Amino acid sequence: MLAVLRRHPKAVDIGLTVLIGLSTVVASDDPEGAAWWLTSLLALASLLVRHRNPEITFAVGVVVSLLHLAMGNDLLPVDVVALIGLFSVAAWGSRRLSLVLLAAGLLVFGAWAFYASEANSHTPAPVPPRIIVIDPWAPPADDIDADQVQDWGGFPGVGLSLTVAWLAGLNTRQRRIRLSVLEQRATDLERERDTQAALAVAAERGRISRELHDVVAHALSVVVLQAQGAQAELDRRPERSREALDAIVDTGRTALSEIRRLLGALGQDAPEWEPRPGAERLPRLAADIRSAGTPVEFRVEGEPRPLSSTVDLAAYRIVQESLTNVLKHAGSGASVTIVMRYEPDALEIEVTDDGNAAEPPSGTGQGLEGMRERVSVLGGVFEAGPRPERGFVVRATLPT
């Protein structure tokens, strides 16, 4: 309900104006005179601008209330416009200005009370206009004598009312500021959450993109070489062609299985769970390359031990991508040496070849950059470049 009212301040002002106007009509037993009604309408009209110019509402309310007192009338509901104006200044205007207006209001009504008190003490009749405060526990009005009328003009009641209105406006201001801060904080947290989610999605897409590149590039390189070998041996040694075709089938099935697993991580497929490839599959990987016609030596130095899943997968992908680069860039007749060296606190991987690649592979591929990023994420060290004598070398140190 309060939120709806805050979103429609103009409707609130109109409703407040109508409510105070009707209350004034009901509370007024008989017409107070044209001037009284004209000033009352002016005070009610000032309520319509209390959100934009609350100072005007307060000033008009104070002036109208004083005019009503000067006309010899009691204060009626319309005279609370001054209190509403002060409340509005404290709630939406300048805090310093609201304090100044409070002091000015107290000073004005205090001066009026002093004037009314002095006039009552020196001039028996006629009695100057004043604010009448009656004890609610006193006898009926017909039994009230002159001693029960407050000669101080009701200033304590007016001063207390002004102070309460100012404090209420100040409290509303503080609540509004706190609510604004909380809303801004919620907005910032929501924006940060969306940003983190977008970054996580981008990072996951990048990871899957690298995985797909490694799988597809390696599988296609092996398939092409096996197909070339099968074509060359088709007429002379058909059995070797059959072996090459079997290797192509195995390589294709393995690649398809890994691609389906990666697509399943994207929610585009739902294959049965399969373990990620790791260091234990490197001998088989070396055998596949060897069967494709490229000599491969695989050595393990140190005592093998279980690796974390991230290090295990990174080791496999680094060797896989290195072998793919050998097949693509080293040329025919190149041989490869793979060394897995288990240190006390790290795993060192070294893949060297004696091919023709004197410079790192160029282009837009993700091979070397993908390996470098994998190692960097794990806090390791990555080196890749041509060997002084011949060929290319890839070295990676992965902390364990």
Beta carbons within 10 angstroms of residue 377's beta carbon: 12
Three-state secondary-structure class, residue 340: strand
In the numeric block, which tokens belong to residue 121? 């003490």
For residue range 229-249, what is the model confidence (pLDDT) as tens digits? 777 666 677 777 777 777 777
For residue range 262-307, what is the model confidence (pLDDT) as tens digits? 666 555 444 444 557 888 889 988 888 887 778 899 999 988 888 8
pTM across the whole model: 0.45
Task: Domains for the chain: give ranges and CATH numbers.
Answer: 2-153 (no CATH), 279-400 (3.30.565.10)
Contacts of 355 (CB under 8 A, 6+ apart): 326, 329, 330, 331, 333, 334, 390, 391, 392
For residue range 115-152, what is the model confidence (pLDDT) as tens digits? 777 666 555 544 444 444 433 334 444 444 444 333 44
| Residue 274 DSSP one-character state | -
Residue 361, preceding bond cis, omega within 30 degrees? no
On average, the pLDDT of the chain sits at 78
Cβ atoms of 336 and 353 within 8 Å: the answer is: yes
Q: Which residue in 166, 74, 90, 79 sits closest to 129, CA to CA?
A: 74
Query: In angstroms, what is the C-alpha Rg of the chain?
Result: 45
Whole-angstrom distance, CA of residue 117 vs CA of residue 350: 104
For residue range 342-353, what is the model confidence (pLDDT) as tens digits? 998 999 999 999
Quick one: angle between helices 34-46 and 81-92, nearest 10?
20
Q: For the chain, how far is it from start to end, CA to CA, in angstroms? A: 60
**What is the band of 204 on the pLDDT scale with cuts at 50, 70, 90?**
low
pLDDT higher than 50, residue 188: yes
Whole-angstrom distance, CA of residue 40 vs CA of residue 65: 9
153: left (phi over 0), alpha (psi -120 to 50) or beta: left
